[in-house]
């Protein structure tokens, strides 16, 4: 698996409390950042599983500013996630907290963008959990197997998007 | 507002039960077949009552079942909640993979809007 190849992701555990996703996008860094930081764009792509929508996307993009997304599932149920920004370096780095509610561990998410070869941007998302146990629970036991299944599904999906 | 915020759902109980290495080791042992408390205690430097405490947590989470025979009370693994965990974690990754696949397409769209061919 080569994460520098656009359209593929690489999931690793750099420490006991972290999960890291590395993904390459075939677009300049400026544009990738725009798509990830402007509330006008997020409901167009960050909507999770098939059939979900994001009716609320609020982002007060400054240090200490809050963000809040509401997801609506096909059965009409809604689920909110929220947090605050801790660090913002436009087009380079964004650190934010994330909470899905009291039963789920709060995380600190660090998103970094770097230039790769011509017109390709590498995104690194590192999610820090409060404990190894919380990280392991989020990771589950069959991660590798699940990942491979996910990639197989993605491979099947990509031709239909092209 | 959050559907998850108001109640302790079964998945949370499962994650709590799994968030302990001894309990995970017990489940691994039971994956090979039913066992008594004494058999489960033997690999650990742990008293019977300490193991029983872990078993109660696993039982409450629906991860194991205990027999009714007073003497033996053999423990067996219940796979249902573990399947839910596997589905949820699979969902977690699917969540991001689905997002990133859409973002690939959306970025192409943004590029075209900026410099229409």
b/e string for B60-82 if b means 16 or more Cβ within 10 A? ebbbbebeeeeeeebbebbeebb
Length of chain B counted residue by residue: 117
What pLDDT, in 10s, does the model give residues B17-52? 888 888 888 887 887 788 988 888 888 888 888 899
Query: Mean per-residue pLDDT for A135-154?
Result: 50
Domain contains B94: yes
Residues of A in contact with B2 (CB under 8 A): 78-81, 100-101
CATH of the domain at B65: 1.10.10.10
Contact B2 A158 (CB under 8 A): no
Question: Which of A102, A149, A150 lies closest to B5 in CB terms?
Answer: A102
Domain contains B4: no
Count structural domains, chain B.
1
Taking the domains of chain A in order of start, what are their residue ranges?
A: 9-161
Nearest to A5 by CA among A124, A155, A120, A92: A120
Residues of B in contact with A134 (CB under 8 A): 19
Q: Which domain holds residue B72?
A: 10-114
A113 CB-side CA count, 13 A: 23
ipTM: 0.77
Domain contains B1: no
Interface contact A6, partner B, CB < 8 A: yes
**Which comes out higher in pLDDT, residue A100 or A72?**
A72
For the structural domain made of A9-161, what CATH number should be given? 3.30.530.20
Q: In whole angstroms, what is the distance from residue A106 CA to residue A97 CA?
A: 7
Q: In whole angstroms, what is the distance from residue B70 CA to residue A39 CA?
A: 61
């Amino acid at each position: 698996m080569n994460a520098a190849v656009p359209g593929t992701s690489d999931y690793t555990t750099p420490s006991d409390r972290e999960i890291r996703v590395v993904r390459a996008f075939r677009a300049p860094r400026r544009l990738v950042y725009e798509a990830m930081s402007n509330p006008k764009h997020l409901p167009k792509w960050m909507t999770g599983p098939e059939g979900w929508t994001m009716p609320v996307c609020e982002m007060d993009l400054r240090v200490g500013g809050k963000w809040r997304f509401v997801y609506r599932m096909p059965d009409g149920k809604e689920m909110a996630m929220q947090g605050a920004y801790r660090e913002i370096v436009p087009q380079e780095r964004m650190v934010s907290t994330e909470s899905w509610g009291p039963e789920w561990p709060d995380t600190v998410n660090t998103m970094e963008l770097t230039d790769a070869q011509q017109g390709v941007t590498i995104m690194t998302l590192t999610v820090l959990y409060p404990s190894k146990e919380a990280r392991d629970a989020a990771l589950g036991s069959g991660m590798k197997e699940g990942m491979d299944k996910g990639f197989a599904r993605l491979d099947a999906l990509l031709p239909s998007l092209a | 507002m959050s559907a998850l915020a108001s109640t302790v759902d079964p998945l949370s109980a499962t994650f709590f039960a799994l968030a302990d290495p001894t309990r995970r080791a017990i489940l691994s042992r039971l994956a090979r077949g039913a066992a008594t408390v004494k058999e489960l205690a033997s690999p650990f430097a742990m008293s019977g009552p300490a193991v029983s405490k872990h078993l109660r947590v696993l039982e409450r989470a629906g991860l194991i079942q205990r027999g009714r025979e007073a003497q033996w009370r053999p423990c067996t693994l219940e796979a249902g909640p573990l399947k839910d965990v596997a589905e949820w974690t699979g969902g977690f990754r699917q969540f991001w993979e689905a997002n990133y696949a859409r973002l690939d397409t959306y970025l192409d769209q943004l590029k075209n809007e900026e410099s229409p061919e």
